[in-house]
Structures are given as structure tokens and as C-alpha cells.
A = this chain, B = another copy of it.
Amino acid sequence: MDKTPDVESQSLGRAPLESAEKLRTALRHGVFFLRRMDNTRELTSQQISLMSMLTDGGVRMTTIAANLGVRTPTATQSVDRLMKSGLVERQPDPADARAVLVKLTRRGHNVIAAEDRHRNEVVAKVLARLDDKELAALDAAMPVLEKLASPRGGMTGEHQPRPGVRRD
């Protein structure tokens, strides 16, 4: 949708384009940072995200997919893998026979807790190298990042996760 640059694009001509460039690379590097942390332990970031949302009880497949921003088959698949590792289990939803509730197993609970703790410690150790000013800057930016990243505040009215392929 190439909307002709009307009203608010005037506010766009300024710094934002530079900031956008910087933000993009910073985020990209942030991804690397997260990923670099992925080794050493047995779970990927995706798996952590998924399991983290199960700590308070069973969650439906559809909800999982929506929260992760992926399609349901992807959620099914991820859950399958975690099930094979004995970290989560499926249960019928008493409220709806079509639906499924995904829950952490006992072991899943332990694993996610330990993993979370470990990662926080690792990040904390890195944060410890920052001086107070830098830490404050980071802290101040966090809610802004959250706001940007939230589906609502972000962009993309619909969520439309990924194109998959489309080779040309």
C-alpha cells in the first residue's frame, strides 16, 4: 500500500530517518546478543518464550501462536518438539473439545526456572559493566522499546507473521 505522503509525513523529514537507521542496526545487534547467549544451554530463545507463557497454567494452542506471533502450525510443531523432550504436555480443554491446553510438566517447570535464572545472571553480569548513567539510559528506553514492539503501538494492523518463502 503506497500511501501518498500526506499529512504526517512532514513530521518525518527530520531526524527520524537517521534514528530509524540507528534503531534498526541496534536491534539487529541486540538479536545477535540474545542469540550469542543461546548456546551453553539446552533451550533456544523461541522455546524459552513459549515455555515462559505457560508458567501460570495451561494455554491454548491458538493463544500460544498469537503470543509468539506465528501461525498455528508453527505452534503445533514447537509444542511437539518440547513434548518430545518431556518439557510440556497436552491436555484436553474441558471447556472445548476441539481445543488443547498446553502445560509445563514438572520437569518443564524446573528447566524453565533454572534457564531463566541463568540467563538473567548472564545478562546481569554484562550489565554490571555499565556505569550508572548508561544503566539509567537503558532503563529509560525499555518502556519505549516495549511500546514500539507491541503489536498495537508498533505497526501492521494485522499481524501477518512472515511470508515464509516467496522465491522469485
Interface residues of A (CB under 8 A from B): 8, 11-12, 15-17, 19-40, 42, 45, 49, 69, 84-85, 119-130, 134-135, 137-142, 144-151, 153-156, 159-163, 166-168
By a CB distance below 8 angstroms, the chain B residues around A49 are 28
B156:A11 contact, CB within 8 angstroms: no
B139:A140 contact, CB within 8 angstroms: no
Main secondary structure, interface of A, reads: helix
Known: A19-B124, A26-B146, A31-B31. 12 other contacts (CB 8 A): A17-B121, A19-B139, A20-B127, A23-B123, A24-B34, A26-B149, A35-B161, A39-B162, A85-B167, A126-B154, A126-B155, A130-B148
